[in-house]
Structure 1
Amino acid sequence: MGGRFLSIGECMVELSQAGNGLLRKGFAGDTFNTAWYAHACLPSDWSVDYFTAVGDDPMSEEMLAFMADAGIGTSYVRRIRGRTPGLYLINLKDGERTFSYWRDSSAARQLAVDADRLREAIEASDVIYFSGITLAILSHDGVETLLSELRRAKALGKLVVFDPNLRPRLWQSLDTMHATISEGARASTLVMPSFDDEAAHFGDPSISATIRRYRQLGAAMVVVKDGPNGVTIGTAAGETLVDAEAVQTVVDTTSAGDSFNGGFLAEYLQSKDPIAAARFAVKIAARVISEHGALVAPEKLVTATAE
């Protein structure tokens, strides 16, 4: 039995290194990446939609066409006159990436302005996915509108999934980030943090501490990603470690966590088994970091999971 997966956030113009001083243009962003991988891994009876805002410029048109060609629904995307998408540049060194951003005038910052459209999209969905970056780019009122709708969705029994994706430079202060991320977790059923971020910015001394903190905020399940050290699943029944998939050569870690999240959710929505979902997702993430760019072609993912 299928359903509707809704991902909420910002898709940006991506510039990546193409060699010889040239750049390659693409489209990506944390919640869009997860939507991409969820769509690639879910069966055809599941639909995947993206909720964001774009401008009225040619780049926005190209972005929407790219989403549609990928099979990701855009019917709830807002169009804002005079705005444009944000842009980022990937800088790579030994497979690790850093980013330079240009997003101050991004249309996605206004994605929650139309509360009625937001509620309509959430009500039509079974699974709602968002991130700390989604919250970070919004105004205070936008955050309150989004979290109010997510709390409502959780109360109605929908699966609300949150990746804190901590990026301090997007926030006015660490206190604001801590408080808003905690509210995001309270609105969620499943939280999917990365331990290095949680240790650095919340001071968690262990993965167990991260799980305990998010479960105390109301998450029924916490899935903590820890790179090559694997993934730990925390529920009321206890904690389970799933080993990472070995990768011979790391080419580009862009979208490692996003692809894991998409793969995990795709498998979990079918099997309801978080351990099986994590084992599936580490294979997806391993293939993704063996390739360039945030979005790896679905046919390459099929090969990865068959090995």
Structure 2
Amino acid sequence: MVELAPLDQANEFHMGFAGDTFNTSWYMRTLRPDVETSYFTRVGTDAVSNAMLDMMSGAGVNTSFIAQDPVRSVGLYLISLKDGERSFSYWREQSAARKLAQDAELLKRAMQDSDLIYFSGISLAILDPQGRQTLLDALSAARADGKRIAFDSNLRPRLWASTDEMTTMVMKAAAVSDIILPSYDDEADFFGDANIEATGIRYLGAGAKTVVIKNGAGAVHYIHEGFSHHIDPPAVGDIVDTTSAGDSFNAGFFAGLDRATSMEELIRSASQIAGQVIGRKGALVPLDLSKITI
């Protein structure tokens, strides 16, 4: 999406590009330039859409699976600040991304070309019912073909017709996923989980093999290969902007999947990355890779 972020001067904004799954792709590419990272979405043919594609390509993200819609453009969100607190206003209705599952054959080819496929609750929420089913069917087929599927529920009730629709679709998404990376506060609010362990058990019951539950400044809880544990995150300095905390954590987790010797090492590395990101302003910030263990 187009991001309009306030500058120090009143009523002046900086235009950039960000969004939950793209943020993860961007950080993944930063952390693992040796691994091809592709992004799948749909944009327009206008100047802003082309600028977005140029930005992605410039960051090293493969855009060959991004279709261009002759009618629609890209979504936009504006960040407002009041007493240091951020709030967001969104314009998504004419976003081409709402039709990202329209070309089922392109979707299939993109998944066939991948080893790890990551999507979020927002990826589902912006689609119409047919598009959601097309996406879930493609993910299910890819999983059956040996691809690893990762999912962050990223619960955003304003994007859904009802809370029931949101929770139902999230659990359908969980059923086609191997790795689930939810955030506990949201899960407790909308699923009524009594504790963080209950969140993990619920997703494990849906069919996931690994569940890693982010918990703000609290301990990360994971369930993997029949074992569960809590991992305390590293201490961080001043918290400036939490916009991409979860997105960057997810990227760190994916980046270390083939390098870490244990889940504990993997989660600590992902937490180090998120700790750096929340200490800077913006969704996409430079990382000090020398301070990351993986």
TM class, shorter-chain normalised?
over 0.9
SS of aligned partner of 1:89: strand
C-alpha distance 174-85 of structure 1, shift in aligned 2 (>3 A): same
- What's the CA shift for 1:94? 6.7
Partner of 2:128: 139
The partner residue of 1:169 within 158, 165, 187 is: 158
Structure with more of its chain in strand, by fraction: 1
Distance between the aligned counterparts of 2:100 and 2:69, measured in 1? 9
Distance between the aligned counterparts of 2:233 and 2:279, measured in 1? 14
Partner of 2:244: 255
SS of aligned partner of 1:113: coil
C-alpha distance 92-257 of structure 1, shift in aligned 2 (>3 A): farther
Distance between the aligned counterparts of 2:108 and 2:293, measured in 1? 39
Q: CA RMSD in A?
A: 1.5
Partner of 2:17: 27
The partner residue of 2:55 within 66, 70, 88 is: 66
Q: Deviations over 1:262-294 (max 9, x none)?
A: 011101133363221111011100110000110
SS of aligned partner of 2:259: helix
- What's the CA shift for 1:157? 1.9
Answer with 115-124 or 85-94: which moved more: 85-94
C-alpha contact 1:67 1:74 (8 A) present in aligned 2: yes
Partner of 1:211: 200
Q: Deviations over 1:166-213 (max 9, x none)?
A: 000100111111110000000100000000110111111111000000
C-alpha contact 1:211 1:224 (8 A) present in aligned 2: yes
C-alpha distance 35-235 of structure 1, shift in aligned 2 (>3 A): same
C-alpha contact 1:38 1:262 (8 A) present in aligned 2: yes
Distance between the aligned counterparts of 1:57 and 1:301, measured in 2? 35
Amino acid at match of 1:26: G
Distance between the aligned counterparts of 2:78 and 2:236, measured in 1? 25
- What's the CA shift for 1:238? 2.1
C-alpha distance 102-286 of structure 1, shift in aligned 2 (>3 A): same
1:278 aligns with 2:263: no
C-alpha contact 1:96 1:252 (8 A) present in aligned 2: no
Distance between the aligned counterparts of 1:39 and 1:285, measured in 2? 15
Partner of 2:119: 130
Moved >6 Å (runs of 4+): none
C-alpha contact 1:131 1:164 (8 A) present in aligned 2: yes
Give the TM-score of the pair, scaled to structure 2. Answer: 0.96
How many percent of aligned residue pairs carry the same amino acid? Answer: 48
Distance between the aligned counterparts of 1:163 and 1:91, measured in 2? 25
Q: Deviations over 1:56-87 (max 9, x none)?
A: 11000000000000000000001001211000
1:302 aligns with 2:289: yes
1:287 aligns with 2:276: yes
Q: How does 1:1-307 map to 2 (within 5 A)?
A: 12-21=1-10, 22-44=12-34, 46-92=35-81, 97-271=86-260, 273-297=262-286, 300-305=287-292
SS of aligned partner of 1:85: coil
C-alpha contact 2:269 2:293 (8 A) present in aligned 1: no
Q: Which has the higher contact order (CA 8 A, sep 6+)?
A: 1
- What's the CA shift for 1:235? 2.1
Counting matched residue pairs gives: 293
Distance between the aligned counterparts of 1:198 and 1:36, measured in 2? 26
- What's the CA shift for 1:244? 1.4
Give unmatched runs, 5+ long, in structure 1.
1-11
Give the TM-score of the pair, scaled to structure 1. Answer: 0.92
C-alpha contact 1:185 1:219 (8 A) present in aligned 2: yes
SS of aligned partner of 1:91: strand
- What's the CA shift for 1:107? 0.4
SS of aligned partner of 2:89: strand
Amino acid at match of 2:288: L
Give unmatched runs, 5+ long, in structure 2.
none
Partner of 1:4: none
SS of aligned partner of 2:255: helix
